[in-house]
Amino acid sequence: MDVQAVWGAMVRAIRNVGRPGVASTAMAAVDAALWDVKARLLGVPLATLLGAVRDGVDVYGSGGFTSYSIDALQRQLAAWVDAGIPRVKMKVGRDHRGDLARVRAAREAIGDSPELFVDANGGYDRKPALAFARAVEPFGVSWFEEPVSSDDLDGLRLMRDRAPASIEIAAGEYGYDLVYFRRMLEAGAVDVLQADATRCAGITGLLQVGALCDAFEIPLSAHTAPSLHLAPCCALARVRHVEYFHDHARIEQMLFDGAPRPRPDGRLYPDLARPGLGLELRRTDAAKFEVH
Ligand SMILES: [Mg+2]
């Protein structure tokens, strides 16, 4: 079975529907299922089929929602660090005046060494974003995700050039097709490109983004959905890490046997005893969420 040929046929089939958006997410589901089936038919883990270049992938704990109290924020981030994950991400951008206090509280909770990432989901304009980057530099923030809208490529580039050198600029989670990522990289907009296989038309799409990162010599970080990203991220040379996103990790553990959990070294490893993606849907547990 040539998954990439089927993928190409899907791209042609949705031409008049529009490639970005829901059509690409539907393609992603079919594409992931096809890769899973192919590996199962061959009796190998998907990481092996895709040509693993590493046996596991670093993760970062991701949550820290702006709806959390300071106490809840601190407890969540500290729990990941206690579990051995040396990098964590929190949200900012909803309450500009409160953001600095939340970042300070987060740093207090995790101690000096772990990496601290912030994600504004485009919640700042250019100059406030720049001011915020400078304000959080003393708290050791090393990653500023979507400081401005990810459609503002010039703004991202400004942040990349003018924010403190210790802070990387990241974006790319809304990419549905390869041209989106290429434009972002051509604009010099990011230090690390993000991509999400559930949006960029599946594992096949993610592999293409990986090739683009090779060409531009930019690291790649997978956005959310750790169980889906683990296998392809073992196979892509430029991968920096996978986002261990609180809500997705919780739902994956709830609905799938075999959903990977980070080990005490802060990494996810595919279970090489399980073929394909290594996941089995818990049908009884999933049944109550069935939509008719
Ligand atoms: Mg984000």
pLDDT, tens digit, 9 for 90 and up, residues 264-292: 999 999 999 999 999 999 999 999 999 88
Domain 52-270 CATH superfamily: Enolase-like C-terminal domain (3.20.20.120)
How much distance in Å is there from the Cα of 93 to the middle of ligand 1?
11
Per-residue pLDDT tens for 47-58?
Answer: 999 999 999 999
Q: Which of 89, 91, 229, 241 is catalytic?
A: 91
Q: In angstroms, what CA-CA distances link 90 with 25, 37, 213?
A: 25, 36, 25
How much distance in Å is there from the Cα of 214 to the middle of ligand 1?
22
Q: Could you tell me which residues come within 8 angstroms of residue 150 by beta carbon, excluding any fewer than 6 positions away?
A: 122, 156, 171, 172, 173, 174, 184
The band of 97, judged by pLDDT with boundaries at 50, 70 and 90, is confident
Nearby residues for ligand 1 (ion, Cβ within 5 Å) = 119, 145, 173
Give yes or no for a contact between 61 and 87, defined as CB atoms under 8 angstroms apart. yes
How much distance in Å is there from the Cα of 10 to the middle of ligand 1?
27
Looking at the chain, the whole-number percentage of residues with pLDDT higher than 70 is 100
Q: Say if residue 175's pLDDT is above 90.
A: yes
Q: In angstroms, what CA-CA distances link 3 with 7, 32, 37, 255, 275?
A: 6, 9, 10, 26, 17
Q: Say if residue 1's pLDDT is above 90.
A: no
pLDDT value at residue 171:
98
Give yes or no for a contact between 202 and 30, defined as CB atoms under 8 angstroms apart. yes
How much distance in Å is there from the Cα of 247 to the middle of ligand 1?
13
Q: Where are the beta strands (DSSP E) in the chain?
A: 57-62, 87-91, 115-119, 141-145, 168-171, 192-195, 220-222, 239-245, 256-257, 267-268, 280-281
Amino acid at 35: W
| 3, two tokens | 């998954």
How much distance in Å is there from the Cα of 173 to the middle of ligand 1?
6
Give yes or no for a contact between 44 and 271, defined as CB atoms under 8 angstroms apart. no
The band of 96, judged by pLDDT with boundaries at 50, 70 and 90, is confident
Average pLDDT of span 40-67: 98
* Mean pLDDT computed over every residue of the chain: 97
How far is residue 282 CA from its own chain's centroid?
Answer: 24
Q: What is the pTM of this model?
A: 0.97
| 200, two tokens | 């960029």
Q: Which of 89, 96, 127, 223 is catalytic?
A: 223
Round to whole Å and give the CA distance between 91 and 72: 13
Round to whole Å and give the CA distance between 190 and 150: 10
How much distance in Å is there from the Cα of 11 to the middle of ligand 1?
26
Round to whole Å and give the CA distance between 40 and 180: 32
Average pLDDT of span 147-172: 98
127 is catalytic: no
Round to whole Å and give the CA distance between 249 and 60: 12
* Domain residue limits, the chain: 52-270
Per-residue pLDDT tens for 225-235?
Answer: 999 999 999 99
Amino acid at 264: P
Q: What is the DSSP letter of 124?
A: S
| 33, two tokens | 């299922």
Per-residue pLDDT tens for 120-151?
Answer: 999 999 999 999 999 999 999 999 999 999 99
pLDDT value at residue 108:
98
In a 13 Å sphere around the CA of 288, the CA atoms on its Cβ side amount to: 4
38 is catalytic: no
How much distance in Å is there from the Cα of 287 to the middle of ligand 1?
30
Give yes or no for a contact between 201 and 30, defined as CB atoms under 8 angstroms apart. no
Nearest CA-CA partner of 137 in 118, 119, 120: 118
Average pLDDT of span 164-175: 98
In DSSP terms, 61 is beta-bridged to 88, 244
pLDDT value at residue 107:
98
Round to whole Å and give the CA distance between 49 and 29: 19
Nearest CA-CA partner of 235 in 259, 212, 200, 206: 206
Looking at the chain, the whole-number percentage of residues with pLDDT higher than 90 is 98
